[in-house]
Amino acid sequence: MQIVETTLNDALVLEPHIYPDDRGFFLESWNRREFAKVTGINKEFVQDNHSRSTYGVLRGLHYQVKMVQGKLVRVVRGKIRDVIVDLRRSSSTFGKWYAVELSDANQRQLWIPEGFAHGFIVLSDVVDLLYKTTDYYSPKDERTIVWDDKDLSIDWGINNEDKIVLSEKDRYGKCFVESEYFV
C-alpha cells in the first residue's frame, strides 16, 4: 500500500498493491496491521456501508457531531469525485476542502479522519461505493453542509449543475458558517 498525502491535515489517499493477470486482478482492500504500519493510524471500524448511485447524484456534505466517524472509502464500480472538508477548528487546514477521483480503475481509497465533512458526486453511469466507519450511524447527530456553499466554493468537477441530483436533506443543508465544528 502506498500513501499519497493530501492538502488537508491527517487525510490520506491510499493506493493498494494490485496484482493483475490474465484472469483479472487481486488486491487486499483492508488489512488492519498494514493500515496501521503505513499510516500510523490504529482504528477499529465498527460498520461497513454500501452506497449505489447513478450519474449526477451528489451526496453530502455529511458529518456527525457526537458519534463522530472516521471513514475509509473506496469505489468498487464506477467513478466519483470525493470531497472532504476539515471541520476541526484547531487544524491549520480548518475550512479547507480536498477532492480526489476514486474509481474501480484506480482502486484508490480515501481515509477521512474524524472531524471532516464528506460528500461525493457520481461521474459514471452507476457507482458502488463501500466505506468503513469508526463509529455507528446516528441520524440525530448527522449534519449537512450545503453542497454549493459560497464560502467553501467546492469544485465538484461537473460542468452542468442541472444534471446534479440531490436529496431534500442535501438540497437544504446549512451553509458552512452556520455549521457545527469540532475542537
Q: Which residues are catalytic?
A: 62, 131
C-alpha cell at 27: 488486491
Determine the Cα–Cα distance for residues 121 and 101; give it in Å rounded to an integer.
10
How far is it, in rounded angstroms, from Cα 97 to Cα 82? 10
Stated as kind and residue range, the H or E segment containing 64 is: strand 58-64
Q: Do residues 105 and 127 lie in contact, with contact meaning Cβ atoms separated by under 8 Å?
A: no
Residues in the chain: 183
Q: What is the Cα–Cα distance from 87 to 100, expressed in whole angstroms?
A: 18
Question: What residues form DSSP beta bridges with 3?
Answer: 14
- Specify the 3-state DSSP secondary structure of 78: coil
